[in-house]
Structure 1
């Protein structure tokens, strides 16, 4: 998920009462909720799509869940001691307890992979022990409804606290509502996948993968992707109800791609195919190959999820490919 969602989650956890456990609890929860994204620094030394093979890996795995909160807790504890020595420690701050700082940093850090798992981008939850990608297919990566719920609840709880009212209850209700919203979206995803299976390939075709891709704003819809062997089709989750499930080809020019012939962009192509869940090759205007991913396909532009292979010629797929 985006960093605003992560930060609001940490803040709301503080407002349920956790911020009263120790001084600097809110920074521990909010920073901890965003800390696994330190891997974004890879943009400083990678080019093109090479960052895709680095993101959501080692900093989102089990070792990081333990080590990153420890580093954060130590920095916050040291910051409190530094302010105390300089006589600049705020008088209203609660005493700082390192054990609680670590525990809250740990809780905040754990919310990050849990939320990242909810979308179709993918996360390597077991890195470095396994490089397998995991996908929840439940929420779009930026969910404005979750923003609204978490943001309003945090503001309302803080407002209540400032006025001397009961401020924990609104935060707890909001967290319960957020979990219910996530659960409802999980049900929508499962329903869309099952309906697609019944309409298009049934349970006997084990090679065809079904991906129910959440879309922006309209959380009740899914863009369902069906594909195998580099050939993908898509339809809206309401399409079968209104038009019998008409399929839309993602591209007018599907290509074969052979990893053994990659030369100029070998690193980028390898990184892309390591990350990609729904890869396919498209004919570029010059007859070369564009590697794309059906989850993030935009026919109008070459986005950051596209790798151009100018040294590889597009070989059209046979006519029967994807016919089923």
Structure 2
């Protein structure tokens, strides 16, 4: 999920009352909820970063190491301020044990949320490179923003006015978010069940959370390919398959590395890709073959694509 969502979850956890357990609890929760995304710096490697993101910093080793490092830094920062005479008098005593526990709780919320979208997460890296997908929420969910943001603001407002029940809005916000997530998990399974293809991938749609794009394999007498169907809660399967690509069985995208074994971008893209397909386009008067992923066929397709060499011997049977 996006970092605003992670931050709101960390802040709401604090507003349930846990922020009163130790000084600097809120920084531990908010930074902890975002900490696994330190791997975002790998974007300097371009397309190769697709194979680096949501892996090691989101896996079991990071669940232990990252909260410990964060708690140690915050504890040191409090001591450093005290030595300089700049530590706020109103700050609660900083307890390392509570800092570590809260940072761990927040850090664990991050992979749990990241699992919910179709981008995926390597949950057990470095012990396994398998990708996991929840397919329940779009990576930026405005409804989740509204739920978390409004209940956080309500809780802070009540706390400022010293209302005894200031924790309740935060608890209600977290409960509502969990209910919304579970409802979307059910919608995803309902969308998959609506298509005869058991391996269909259900991709959440921005804003219209009650709809899913279904990525399906399209079989024909000669061609196989990738296509999209739209499913909605109120209308079921709303349209026939929109063909994204068509190909004969002579070449599959996963076979491309044998023609370009030293292409690091290609290897990274295929490692990350869940539903790869080849698209032939014309750009500046030239014919270009692009490797794409059906999850991002419409949204950000330019960002998630790579120009690839289609071998000469496969060209005649791949395109007509």
TM-score over 0.5 (shorter chain)? yes
SS at match of 2:132: coil
Whether 1:304 aligns to 2:303 is yes
What are the residue-to-residue correspondences of 1:78-157 with 2, within 5 Å? Answer: 78-157=76-155
CA drift of 1:309 comes to 1.7
Q: Could you list the per-position Cα deviations for residues 142-183 of structure 1 after superposition, in whole angstroms to 9, with x for gaps in the alignment?
A: 000000110111111011100011210110011111100001
Q: Is the 8 A contact 1:288 1:312 kept in 2?
A: no
Q: Does 1:222 align with 2:220?
A: no
Contact map agreement 2:216 2:227 (CA 8 A) in 1: yes
Deviations, residues 252-307 of structure 1 (Å, cap 9, x unaligned): 788754221126x71100000000000011113234421000000139x7512101
Alignment check: 8 A CA contact 2:245 2:278 kept: no
In structure 2, the gaps of 5 or more residues are none
Do 1:33 and 1:110's aligned partners in 2 also have CA atoms closer than 8 Å?
yes
Change (3 A) 1:81 1:247: same
The equivalent residue for 2:170 is: 171
| CA–CA separation in structure 2 for the residues paired with 1:247 and 1:212 | 14
Q: Aligned partners of 1:94, 1:242: CA distance in 2, in Å?
A: 54
Q: Give the Cα separation in 2 of the matches to 1:116 and 1:79.
A: 30
Residues of 2 paired with 1:287 and 1:240: CA distance?
41
TM-score by length of 2: 0.89
Shift of 1:240: 11
Secondary structure of the equivalent of 1:137?
coil
Query: How far, CA to CA, are the matches of 1:97 and 1:163 in structure 2?
Result: 27
- In the alignment, the residues of structure 2 paired with residue 244 and residue 177 of structure 1 have an alpha-carbon distance, to the nearest angstrom, of 29
Partner of 2:228: 234
Shift of 1:195: 0.7
Matching residue within 51, 60, 63 for 2:61: 63
Scaled by the length of structure 1, the TM-score of the pair is: 0.88
How many aligned residue pairs are there? 306
- Shift, 1:247, TM fit: 0.8
Q: Which runs of 5+ in 1 are unaligned?
A: 204-208, 320-324
The structure, 1 or 2, with the larger RCO (C-alpha pairs under 8 Å, 6+ apart) is 1
Shift in Å at residue 316 of structure 1?
6.1
The answer to which of 71-80 and 284-293 deviates more is: 284-293
Note if 1:290 corresponds to 2:284. Answer: no
> What corresponds to 1:206 in structure 2?
none
Contact 1:256–1:316 (8 Å) recurs in 2:
no
Is 1:191 matched up with 2:190? yes
Q: Give deviations 1:179-225, integer Å, cap 9, x for gaps.
A: 0000111111000000112xxx4x5xxxxx21111000000011111
Tell me, what secondary structure is at the counterpart of 1:284? Answer: strand
Partners of 1:244 and 1:86 in 2: CA distance: 65
For 1:8-61, what per-residue CA distance to the aligned partner results, in whole angstroms no more than 9, with x for missing partners? 0000000001101100100000000000000011123x02x1110000000000
Tell me: CA distance 1:40–1:242, structure 2 relative to 1, closer, same or farther (3 Å): closer
Alignment RMSD (CA, Å): 2.4
Query: Is the 8 Å Cα contact of residues 118 and 137 (structure 1) preserved in structure 2?
Result: yes
CA contact (8 A) 1:39 1:55 kept: yes
Partners of 2:225 and 2:246 within 8 A in 1: no
